Structure 1
Amino acid sequence: MSLLDRHRAVMPGWMPVYYGDDALEIVSGSGRRVTDAGGRTYLDFFGGVLTTMIGYDVAEISDAVRAQIGTGVAHTSTLYLIRQQVELAEKIARLSGIPDARVFFTNSGTEANESALLMATNVRRSNQILAIKNSYHGRTFATMAVTGHRSWSSSSLSPLSVNWLASADRLRGRMAGLNDADLLDAAVDDLREVLATVTAGDVAALIAEPVQGVGGFVHGPDGLLGAYRKVLAEHGILLIADEVQTGWGRTGDHFWGYQAHGVTPDLITFAKGIGNGFALGGVVGRAEVMNAVPAVSFSTFGGNPVSAAAGNAVLDYVLDHDLQGNARRVGGILLGGLRALSYGILAEVRGRGLMIGLEFVRPGTTEPDPAVTLRVFDLCREGGLLVGKGGLYGNVLRIGPPLTLTEDEAREGLAILSGAIATADAESRIA
């Protein structure tokens, strides 16, 4: 029995596996490349869903983890002091941009967002939340409720009362075709209308991704969260920035995605890249908000000594090697090359730094074309490149390589991507 057959025999059917019957088992990795069970090596432009942020087999991270494991202490719980956790919290608090910040560690972005929602609803004594259409915030009960993406929201039940703001998607919907200034005005009008008509007046928070991840890397113009914040402040509503995918310099111009918007959130959630594959997430925020939980609480495994050791090594590596600057420089090569392409199937190239989305449509329309997207996706693999998929209609390729990607690797991946798009476009015209 193949590994795929064994997987299907014991895993739930709703767990997707890329490449269908030709599913991939990755058995080793080095730098920005991975090798499958058949011995073929690929350039990785998805990094385990933007999680293997530094790349594979990085000595500084491996050494830090081995040193902690070598002590014989992999877990103690937060009922005891954890030096690695405190040191990592100090760094994140300092980098957050939030004065007198506090940090709470979890195992994942889902748990981080769940924790942030707990804090915000407690401090405001309200279960009303504003969220953005096309968003994704996690797979637990509350985070599904604030996920505005039908494919990933598997229950209509919710502990929250959620009201929705328009997505910044400029291809279709309320914001279609708007320039930056008009989109900002429309977004503020939309927020004011929602607050005036469908809330009970005591909303707890707005949760927003600076760049929507699963939604296909859709993002609004610079200043959008700042424009929202001016309205939120009139009502005492908190702002939660979901930086699970945008944090740690991935967007290139900024360390956090929120910094493009002239605003400081009350709470920032983080995960994925900070662990470089080790389970690590958390919330950093204003002390008065973080301390609002009215009962004893902790995370059994969140910020455990091993994951925190990895997190410290990852964050030190990001800062010591200026990976934010690298994301800006190398991402510019990719964005410039991709935006120079002109094919009927490619409707939009969007993103920042090393967070890039390619949206595919039927030529001459804005009708999503998931079939041609899948074809480009498969052609990339044939060419030796791994990319991701996403978007509300399954018609967006997601590119999120490790932040250590070199200029030569960027050009190599760009050539494979360009060739795949050209082939798929030619095939679509024949069909």
Structure 2
Amino acid sequence: MTDDLLGRHRSVLPDWLALYYEDPIEITHGEGRHVWDAHGNRYLDFFGGILTTMTAHALPEIAKAVSEQAGRIIHSSTLYLNRPMVELAERIAQLSGIPDARVFFTTSGTEANDTALLLATTYRRSNTVLAMRNSYHGRSFSSVGITGNRGWSPTSLSPLQTLYVHGGVRTRGPYAALSDADFIAACVEDLRDLLGHTRAPAALIAEPIQGVGGFTAPPDGLYAAFREVLDEHGILWIADEVQTGWGRTGEHFWGWQAHGRNGPPDLMTFAKGIGNGMSIGGVVARSEIMNCLDSNSISTFGGTQITMAAGLANLNYLVEHDLQGNSRRVGGLLIERLRSAAAQVPAVREVRGRGLMIGIEVTKPGTDEADHQAATAVLEAAREGGLLLGKGGGHNTSCLRVAPPLSLNVAEAEEGAEILENALRSIQ
């Protein structure tokens, strides 16, 4: 990035709009799993625009669909019948596993979670919401109000009363030393105790794997156990699949399926990967929940023809090329390779994740204390080596996030792992 562009950025955009790197880069184009900056430097992309470039950069099938749709009509709003929107909604409803599902499209995950909260609180006639500690659900006023991650919650003001539940982080907190079974039992007991001190909430909203929080996850089955308690009180379950959906975890198409003993969630939100860079978000819900609103509601830009055409082409490519299976296979190799490399680096507390959703937690050696400076140094060193990563973590943690396009091949996984290993060693 030129100094001029950086200066212009700083003069017209908010101070809180963070940029990666001491010398921020302008990404000008991409292809496959690689991107290039304005100086011609080539990088292997292990972050995909925050888990959004799900299949590949400049995928011909998507470019063709977008170009053809743009040549017909780009946008008309939801006030008119929209064939691409109906077709994508049909596919997502079927894939969701939610019976008699209805789909509403938005332009982002934040807006999707806003909509889910509106539906749940209206349906249940309650403005109390359960959320997970260390969670992240977006940047709007209502979604910030339920975010359990202090680093991404700039205000305590909220239209909702939010109560936070244990369980989203397996290896920290008061239950970390317990076995998986005892961990789940303790979290369920905490939930029961919490519900005994409040009016019945509208819903529990939870990420199956916490994204911004550092790719942390509970043991499989926690949300199934929670669901039994929720059902006793008529409380809805909202699965926030903005980062975990579309097969990224490899083992399942949706993150909730690792906790699906009692069936699908009542509502599910999605975004990011389905658009492969186009602005698509949405909510899937049972019809009686989706249809509970008794006033008019439309979306000007949600479900617009050009984004729906991209989403359809992207979803078709994902399924036809079994990118979920590729995520499982290549992601499994990558996580083991990173664990082997991290074993030689005292600053790495844990390498965790599933499929192509991998977190590397960085701490001060021999402690559980986050080392944000070291994590930033690794990010910079990886960039110098030709690899783009992400960062995340809760208020007291610092995590490097690895989430490349799901078409990553074995050679690219090995290349990225080698660069990342060298970057990790550079901080010792």
Instruction: Measure the CA separation in 1 of the matches of 2:169 and 2:118.
Output: 29
Aligned to 1:5: 7
Helix, strand or coil: the match of 2:284?
Answer: strand
Aligned to 1:219: 217
Helix, strand or coil: the match of 2:218?
Answer: coil
Of 174-183 and 408-417, deviating more is 174-183
Give 2:351's match in structure 1, choosing from 343, 349, 357.
349
Helix, strand or coil: the match of 1:357?
Answer: strand
Cα gap change, 1:345/1:236 in structure 2, threshold over 3 Å: closer, same or farther?
same
- What is the Cα deviation at residue 171 of structure 1? 3.6
Corresponding position: 1:408 with 2:411: yes
Aligned to 2:386: 384
- What is the Cα deviation at residue 175 of structure 1? 2.6
Deviations 1:72-114 (CA, angstroms, capped at 9, x unpaired)? x111111110000000000000000011100000000000000
Helix, strand or coil: the match of 1:66?
Answer: helix
Instruction: Measure the CA separation in 2 of the matches of 1:193 and 1:294.
Output: 34
Aligned to 2:205: 207
Deviations 1:341-381 (CA, angstroms, capped at 9, x unpaired)? 31210000111100000001111111111111111111111
Give 2:237's match in structure 1, choosing from 217, 221, 239.
239
Letter in 2 for 1:268: M
Q: How does 1:111-122 map to 2 (within 5 A)?
A: 111-122=111-122
Letter in 1 for 2:238: I
Corresponding position: 1:287 with 2:290: no
Letter in 1 for 2:217: H
Helix, strand or coil: the match of 2:401?
Answer: strand
Give 2:421's match in structure 1, choosing from 411, 418, 422.
418
Aligned to 1:429: none
**Do 2:119 and 2:290's aligned partners in 1 also have CA atoms closer than 8 Å?**
yes
Which residues of structure 2 form unaligned runs of 5+? none
Aligned to 2:51: 50
Aligned to 1:37: 38
Letter in 1 for 2:213: G
Instruction: Measure the CA separation in 2 of the matches of 1:150 and 1:385.
Output: 28
Instruction: Measure the CA separation in 1 of the matches of 2:397 and 2:131.
Output: 21
Aligned to 1:95: 95
What is the root-mean-square deviation in Å for CA atoms of aligned residues?
Answer: 1.0
Instruction: Show structure 1 runs of 4+ deviating over 6 A.
Output: none
Which residues of structure 1 form unaligned runs of 5+? 426-431
Letter in 1 for 2:367: T
Corresponding position: 1:27 with 2:25: no
- What is the Cα deviation at residue 228 of structure 1? 0.5
Instruction: Measure the CA separation in 1 of the matches of 2:83 and 2:172.
Output: 49
Per the normalisation by structure 2, the TM-score is 0.97
Helix, strand or coil: the match of 1:8?
Answer: helix
Query: What is the number of equivalent residue pairs in this alignment?
Result: 421
Instruction: Measure the CA separation in 2 of the matches of 1:54 and 1:119.
Output: 31
Per the normalisation by structure 1, the TM-score is 0.96
Letter in 1 for 2:242: V
Instruction: Measure the CA separation in 1 of the matches of 2:81 and 2:50.
Output: 32
Deviations 1:38-83 (CA, angstroms, capped at 9, x unpaired)? 1000000000000011111100000000010011x11111111000
Instruction: Measure the CA separation in 2 of the matches of 1:308 and 1:89.
Output: 9
Instruction: Measure the CA separation in 2 of the matches of 1:177 and 1:378.
Output: 34
Give 1:248's match in structure 2, choosing from 240, 246, 249.
246
Aligned to 2:70: 69
Instruction: Measure the CA separation in 1 of the matches of 2:183 and 2:350.
Output: 17
Aligned to 1:146: 146
Letter in 1 for 2:357: M
